[in-house]
Amino acid sequence: MREATSASRGRRAGGGLRETPPAALYGSSHGKTAPASGTGPSTTRARPGHDQGTTRARPGHDGGRVAPRTRVRWAGPADVEAIDGLIRQLAVYEREPDAVEATPDDLRAALFGPDPRVRALVAEVLEGETWVVAGTAISFTTYSTWTGRHGTWLEDLFVRPQHRGLGLGRALLSALAADAVAAGHRRLEWSVLDWNTPAQAVYTAIGAQPLEEWTRWRLAGPELEALAASGSVPS
């Protein structure tokens, strides 16, 4: 397997899914809608009498209370601040709260600049009459010389703690998988922290397989600069 990665933050080889605890993926997959293009803000007003392609989650283990409606869509420029907040929450979960160097402007340029190389899905929950961003899946395209096809690399997957148990994590994964297949991609890949065994069990349950014979290597910082100094940019 050949994998590309966009600056994973300081994690040791073989570590770290950009994923939160298993609760982010447990529960029904309601809210699982096909990714739709759009530039909606991180909070949007629901239109009366129109469900905007959403589904209502079935009652969970909360005494039969009906869970809020959820949806998954492509992120727009107005979602940048919310996504940035999710990335920082993810870093705290991964025990590296100070590792995030990217700014909202960096994220905006990567997602929506003249030559965007990164994409983001957002999962939303309807709270009252307002759609609130509850989770995100950030990805980019890879290429395999073995398959001769492109693939999708999942860089970040995160659902806010207060919105777990609604199936949003699985809905994000399902939407990303649907997009990958529609684009002719042959693989959907990600990394998992070694200590996040409950999440690993979830990925096994959806059919994902660990590539234990592969070790991820990284060259960054002064070491990267030193190697670069010994070469030159090809013409």
Is the Cβ–Cβ distance between 55 and 32 less than 8 Å? yes
Residue 139 clears pLDDT 50, i.e. is over it: yes
Over range 102-118, report the average pLDDT.
Answer: 97
Which structural domains are found in the chain, ordered by start?
22-229 (3.40.630.30)
- The reply to whether 143 belongs to the active site is no
Catalytic residue among 26, 93, 143, 203: 203
pLDDT in tens, 146-199: 999 999 999 999 999 999 989 999 999 999 999 999 999 999 999 989 998 877
Q: Which of 103, 92, 162, 97 is nearest to 134 (CA)?
A: 162
Amino acid at 94: E
Here the tokens at position 49 are 């009498």
Contact 29, 167 (CB under 8 A): yes
- On whether the pTM is more than 0.85, the answer is no
